[in-house]
Amino acid sequence: MKVRGIGIGSMVYGVGYGFSRPDFASAEVEIAPDGTVTIWSGASELGQGIRTVLSQIVAQEFGAAYEDIRVISADTDKTPDSGPVSASRSTYVQGNAVLAACKDLKQELISLASELMGVESNLVEIQNGQIAAKDKIGKIISFSKLASEMHVQGRRTHGFGWHNNRTLDVDKNTSQGDAYSSYAWASQLVEVEVDTQTGRVKILRLASATDVGKAINPQLIEGQIEGGAVQGLGFALMEEMQVEQGVFNNANLSTYLIPTAADVPPIDSLIVEVSDPSGPYGAKGMAEPATIPTTPAILNAIADAISKRVRYSLASPENVLKVLGKIDGSGKEGFLLLEDIPYPVA
């Protein structure tokens, strides 16, 4: 028999390292006479798109063309320390450092633009990739003209930024406090179909709503949401590290299975933007938040479908059949029972 169920999984995630641990990034930017800009950042590109996002930040701040921005990243011989890419911190912490480097230089840019256009500097505005005078319609100076003029006049063309994301720690005795500077939220909704004869679980569809603060690059975010959901799907249904006395028994891809294109359900990516003033343009970290709710959502959906809970480390066909009492294990829901989970005592 095939039964269907719906489940939801939700999470809150502290972005960055929190708990007063060191969490900083530095960055540099330099404007060349031809209107190109170079960014130096220790941020490493793993495919999440941080080089793209850093370039977008600089283009936005300087009114430069995105194509004219070059990123030198993650080279200890050349780039300043930006800390690791982890804890969903690259856009949030490393992006903030690049933003600070731009701000370091922006006053220079604006004062020169105000001289060239003959307007007060508070009336100079960088918008839609152009530097314009607020009060004089049509008074516009291009970034590349400004860049070359900076060099002609010997102005400062190199900016440095440092962002410190160190937070307070929680109270040692009560564990209460604000351990992170930013929190991300995410929920996922999953519909499954469980075959009670074979124990096979099929994900019919998945919706993922992730609060990203501000979507600096929606396409990259969708990629993270979809990739995260599919990793969570693997974690729920097929990925199990079989360790025996510290040795992996399934350390290759024929025994440690990960999802293929055939396992992927339709995914609705919902990008939620609740701005966080501490992030660049309000952005928060979102990479891990995209994967955390998937597994609980799937397990909840299975419980909804079969009215029993799978508490094994994964809902493989074998474990589902155990929970259903169809093979040995005789209906036991798994080894991890609620009362086994230690709760902090107030």
Partner 1 sequence: MINNQKDVLMDLVINNKHISIRAGGGRCLLDFLREDLSLMGTKEGCGEGECGSCTVLLDGKAVLSCMTPMERAIGREVTTIEGVGRPGNLHPLQQAMMEEGGVQCGFCTPGMIMSGVELLNRKSNPNRDEIVEGISGNLCRCTGYRKIITAIERAAEKMS
Contact residues for partner 1 (CB under 8 A)? 46-49, 219-220, 222-223, 226-231, 252-254, 258-262, 264, 267
Q: Is 288 a catalytic residue?
A: yes
**Residue among 247 and 253 whose Cβ is closer to partner 1:** 253
Among residues 288, 318, 333, 339, the one annotated as catalytic is: 288
**Residue among 262 and 345 whose Cβ is closer to partner 1:** 262
- Determine the longest span between alpha carbons in the chain, in angstroms: 84
CB of residue 48 to partner 1, shortest distance in Å: 7
CB of residue 145 to partner 1, shortest distance in Å: 29
Q: How many CB atoms lie within 10 A of CB 154?
A: 7
Q: How many CB atoms lie within 10 A of CB 127?
A: 11
CA nearest 228: which of 301, 294, 300, 298? 294
Convert the chain into a string of H (helix), E (strand) and C (coil): CEEEEEEEEEEEEECCCCCCCCCEEEEEEEECCCCCEEEEECCCCCCCCHHHHHHHHHHHHHCCCHHHEEEEECCCCCCCCCCCCCCCCHHHHHHHHHHHHHHHHHHHHHHHHHHHHCCCHHHEEEECCEEEECCCCCCEECHHHHHHHHHHCCCCCEEEEEEECCCCCCCCCCCCCCCCCCEEEEEEEEEEEEECCCCCEEEEEEEEEEECCCCCCHHHHHHHHHHHHHHHHHHHHCCCCCEECCEECCCCCCCCCCCCHHHCCCEEEEEECCCCCCCHHHCCCCCHHHCCCHHHHHHHHHHHHHCCCCCCCCCCHHHHHHHCCCCCCCCCCCCCCHHHCCCCCC
Catalytically active residues are 288
